[in-house]
Amino acid sequence: MLNSAITIKLKQRINKLDSQDYDNIECWQVVEAFNKAQVEWCRRQLHGLNIVKEGDEQSTRRKDDLQVLLTTEDLVMTNKKTFSFGAVPGDYLQWKRVDVFACSDCCEDRRMTVYLAEEGNLNQLLRDETKKPSFEWAETFATLIGNQVNVYTNEEFEISSATVIYYRQPRRIQIKNCVDPYTNVSSTAEVLSEFKDDIVELIIDEAVSIIAGDIESPVQYPRGTQLAERNN
């Protein structure tokens, strides 16, 4: 969908929420609201917080909607005594999995099964004979803290390579000759949403609630939020 269409639809829906005229909404507000909205929409789908409580693995339709964001990147890992760590990419949004190959003194590279664990359970997992890292069983776990992923080795093996599969941040739209609210520089190119039109429609509803909230109208904001929720 063209950004001009997004702008028109957003203004129309804002005006439907209230009799006041909001044609003076500027292009940078459209850009900011839409970009915020698409991140929130993605997070809700990925975390299973939409109305029917479906995450990407429970709904084929939602899974298909999010495939455009699925990305693979090799990690540069640093081996420590009991774990290896690497930085997740800057556009990271949500974890999918990590593919790891490991080696030991006596064996060549082996593909490991890695599951994501909570940092608070770390000590318990390392002590548990059935859950601690095992090169023999080709199983281990990882934790995600901030922008760092830690893959635990328990001094049994070293990580040879690691590839993270993740959902990235959606591409931000830009309107040519409009001041980008993130850089305060006028955009020199038109950047369109990468989502299909039916998803863009949902994101516009989300953006309406964001703009209505910024306007701080006690009537508009709840109705805008309800509109976005009803269409998810």
The last residue of one of the domains, among 168, 185, 202, is 168
Residues 145, 190 within the same domain: no
Tell me the pTM: 0.80
Residues 49, 110 within the same domain: no
Q: pLDDT band at 158, cuts 50/70/90?
A: very high
Residues 80, 161 within the same domain: yes
Residues 180, 139 within the same domain: no
Residues 133, 202 within the same domain: no
Report the domain count for the chain.
2
Range of the domain at 192: 3-66+170-230
Residues 59, 174 within the same domain: yes
Tens digits of residue pLDDT in 6-63: 999 998 898 876 645 566 789 999 999 999 999 999 998 888 644 444 444 555 666 7
| pLDDT for position 46 | 87
Residues 53, 89 within the same domain: no
Residues 86, 153 within the same domain: yes
The last residue of one of the domains, among 168, 195, 222, is 168
User: 105 with 113: CB under 8 angstroms?
Assistant: no
Q: pLDDT band at 224, cuts 50/70/90?
A: very low
Where are any strands of DSSP class E within 76-221?
78-79, 83-87, 92-103, 110-116, 139-145, 148-152, 158-168
| Token couple for 172 | 């931000």
Q: pLDDT band at 93, cuts 50/70/90?
A: very high
Rg (CA), the chain: 22
User: 173 with 191: CB under 8 angstroms?
Assistant: yes
% helix, strand, coil for the chain, step of 5: 35, 25, 40
Residues 224, 181 within the same domain: yes
The last residue of one of the domains, among 118, 143, 168, is 168
| pLDDT for position 223 | 40
Residues 85, 149 within the same domain: yes
Residues 25, 80 within the same domain: no
Q: pLDDT band at 210, cuts 50/70/90?
A: very high
